[in-house]
């Protein structure tokens, strides 16, 4: 968000009441404060909830210009439908996980546009093996590879490479081999920090005209970010 113009200043968090939700919520709050954003609402909801009106209206009344959320697909689509009903369109909306699959646009159609997602991969990336993966996926399933396809494939690449280097299927040896992994995958170069977190290139897509468009990393982007989002009733 730092490079957007005009830069949004008021941020709302819609946090799922799960461990992952709590982890991202804490990270977003820390980064928002560090970067000079105003956190105007900090909402939580239980997975599978049906009514999201309260947190949406709180964000709307607080003038939130950006929304950060981690919903599962059904919750995410329900939130978007209720945002439209309540006439709340943030300029910037980052929905981790919910917007990853093609079902997002199939269900929401134009209402699903402008939402950003971080599935870890895009079929438009130019790393080694991406074209071959796309061709094999098309031939086997008669459809294009989705954003989540590459991340799953990269996980298998890491495991296969680690087994080969370990030379055996011993649990501890395999764990150490994975921790020492340093290889090129369809997601780009991957290695791991001492705490087990991955060193990966952050990939961000955005729904534009019903399609997932690669907007980051910038040197591989196929289109710029569409910003600010048009109100739902103008799409």
Per-residue pLDDT reduced to its tens digit, 129-141: 999 999 999 999 9
Q: Residue 98: inside a domain, yes or no?
A: yes
Instruction: Give residue 144's pLDDT band: very low, low, confident or very high (50, 70, 90).
Output: confident
DSSP annotation of 48 reads: T
Percentage of residues of the chain with pLDDT beyond 70: 100
Angle of helix 171-179 relative to helix 147-166, nearest 10 degrees?
120
Token pair for 145: 């590879």
Provide the number of structural domains found in the chain. Answer: 2
Q: What is the pLDDT of residue 177?
A: 97
In degrees and rounded to multiples of 5, residue 12 shows phi and psi of: -115, 140
The mean per-residue pLDDT over the stretch 59-69 comes to 97
Q: Is the pLDDT of residue 44 over 90?
A: yes
- Tens of pLDDT, residue by residue over 169-215, are 999 999 999 999 999 999 999 999 999 889 999 999 999 999 999 99
Instruction: Give residue 230's pLDDT band: very low, low, confident or very high (50, 70, 90).
Output: very high
**Number of neighbouring beta carbons within 10 Å of residue 131:** 13
Do 107 and 218 have their domain in common? Answer: yes
Do 38 and 141 have their domain in common? Answer: no
Percentage of residues of the chain with pLDDT beyond 90: 94
- Tens of pLDDT, residue by residue over 78-96, are 999 999 999 999 999 999 9
Do 36 and 61 have their domain in common? Answer: yes
Contact 83/56 with Cβ under 8 angstroms? yes
Do 84 and 150 have their domain in common? Answer: no
Q: Report the CATH number that the domain containing residue 228 is assigned in CATH.
A: 3.40.50.2300
In degrees and rounded to multiples of 5, residue 144 shows phi and psi of: -70, 155
The mean per-residue pLDDT over the stretch 26-44 comes to 95
Instruction: Give residue 2's pLDDT band: very low, low, confident or very high (50, 70, 90).
Output: confident
For residue 149, what are the CA distances in angstroms to 9, 35, 121?
34, 33, 8
Nearest to 206 by CA among 185, 184, 187, 221: 221
* Residue 84 belongs to domain spanning: 10-118+203-234
Nearest to 46 by CA among 86, 24, 14: 14
Q: Residue 153: inside a domain, yes or no?
A: yes
Q: What is the pLDDT of residue 211?
A: 94
Q: Is the pLDDT of residue 101 over 90?
A: no
Burial 38-54 (b: 16+ CB within 10 A, else e): ebbbbbebeeeeeebee
Three-state DSSP class for residue 125 = coil
| pTM score of the predicted model | 0.91
Beta bridge partners of 216: 204
């Amino acid at each position: 968000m730092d490079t957007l113009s005009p830069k949004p200043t008021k941020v709302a968090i819609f946090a799922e009441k799960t461990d992952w939700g709590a982890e991202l919520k804490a990270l977003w709050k820390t980064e928002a404060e560090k970067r000079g954003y105003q956190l105007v609402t900090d909402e939580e909801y239980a997975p599978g909830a049906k009514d999201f009106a309260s947190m949406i209206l709180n964000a709307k009344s607080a003038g939130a210009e950006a929304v950060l959320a981690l919903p599962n697909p059904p919750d995410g689509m329900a939130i978007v439908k209720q945002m439209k009903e309540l006439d709340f369109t943030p300029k910037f909306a980052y929905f981790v996980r919910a917007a990853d699959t093609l079902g997002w646009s199939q269900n929401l159609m134009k209402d699903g546009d402008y939402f950003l997602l971080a599935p870890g991969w895009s079929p438009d990336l130019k790393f080694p093996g991406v074209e071959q993966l796309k061709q094999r996926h098309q031939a086997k399933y008669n459809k294009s590879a989705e954003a989540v396809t590459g991340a799953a494939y990269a996980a298998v690449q890491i495991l296969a490479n680690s087994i080969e280097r370990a030379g055996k299927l011993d649990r501890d040896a395999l764990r150490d081999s994975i921790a020492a992994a340093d290889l090129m995958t369809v997601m780009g170069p991957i290695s791991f920090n001492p705490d087990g977190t991955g060193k990966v290139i952050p990939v961000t897509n955005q729904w534009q005209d019903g399609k997932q468009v690669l907007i980051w990393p910038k040197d591989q982007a196929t289109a710029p970010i569409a910003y600010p989002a048009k109100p739902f009733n103008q799409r």
